[in-house]
Amino acid sequence: NSRRQSLTFRAQRPINDGWGNDGGWGNDPWGNQNGWLKLNEQVRGRGTFTYNGRRNDLQDVRVTADRNGRITLAFQGGGHINLRGEYGERRGNSVSFELYDGLGRYDMSGRGTLEFENDQRTVRRISVSGTADRQQFRLDFSRGLGNIDETIYGRGEFILGRDVFSFSSARVVLSSNGRFSVRTEGRRYTEFTGTWREEGDQYALFVNSVSGRRLSSGRGWVEVDRYSGRVISINLTGVADEQRFEMNINR
């Protein structure tokens, strides 16, 4: 009965409230006067799922939402996590939802938020928290290959002018705010920082700072395995205090 009342309320939503005014779907998943979300999208990205003291890495997710008010999230990686629930009203570029089934548990509930890009049709981020069998769980997922924090081990070399330094590991951090840092580890460390953007299966890096140097600029790449999401190699070139530098490491 309460479900029917909710349906009646949605159907009476004013047409000119920003949820679409043509009554049809077109390319806009919200482009309908009843305010229902219609979505079936495979989102490539990275995320983490934490439950009962364990953390699993997530890779891709299929997001399905229908006009019946239900939403399904099917994540790849981390044990193929499936979550089902009901979504509410859109607020700006996001929509909230409540979970009622998933994780293979009977006693399960939670809440989450689905965030869209400014085009209001491309899924950008998913965040979920709740309990299952009285244990808390949390899930965070972002579109794209970002949010990397990984140490790569292999043969590395840093060349600055005529000086050559070897190292065996480097830590790379790509944050969701568009900033990155790469730090060689060992007896001598050097840290490179700047901005990044995704380009296919790689990240383009734009260096604006090298530790111990006043004026620095350069660019490079972080290559990842398209299946595992692990970093394969890091390469940087540029100029620091009028000296050429090169840095590379391969797993």
What residue segments make up the domains of the chain, in order of their start? 2-143, 148-250
Query: Which two tokens mark 123?
Result: 């899924």
pLDDT for res 28: 53
pLDDT for res 33: 45
pLDDT for res 156: 94
Q: Residues with Cβ < 8 Å from 8, sequence gap 6 or more?
A: none
Along the 251 residues of the chain, how does pLDDT read in single tens digits? 444 333 322 333 333 333 333 333 345 555 554 456 788 888 878 788 998 888 888 878 999 998 888 999 998 866 678 999 999 888 888 899 999 998 888 888 999 999 987 777 788 889 999 999 888 999 988 887 656 888 999 999 999 999 999 999 999 998 877 899 999 987 778 999 999 988 766 889 999 999 989 889 999 999 987 666 688 999 999 999 999 999 999 98
- pTM of full prediction above 0.85: no
d(CA 122, CA 11): 25
pLDDT for res 138: 92
pLDDT for res 104: 82
pLDDT for res 19: 35
Helix (H) or strand (E) holding 8: helix 2-11
- For residues 192, 59, 51 and 232, what is the CA-based torsion angle, rounded to 10 degrees? -40
pLDDT for res 124: 83
Within a 10 A sphere around the Cβ of 235, how many other Cβ atoms? 16
SS3 of residue 75 by DSSP? strand
pLDDT for res 209: 94
pLDDT for res 161: 92
d(CA 133, CA 66): 28
Burial of 26 (0-12, 13-18, 19+ CB in 10 A): exposed
pLDDT for res 4: 38
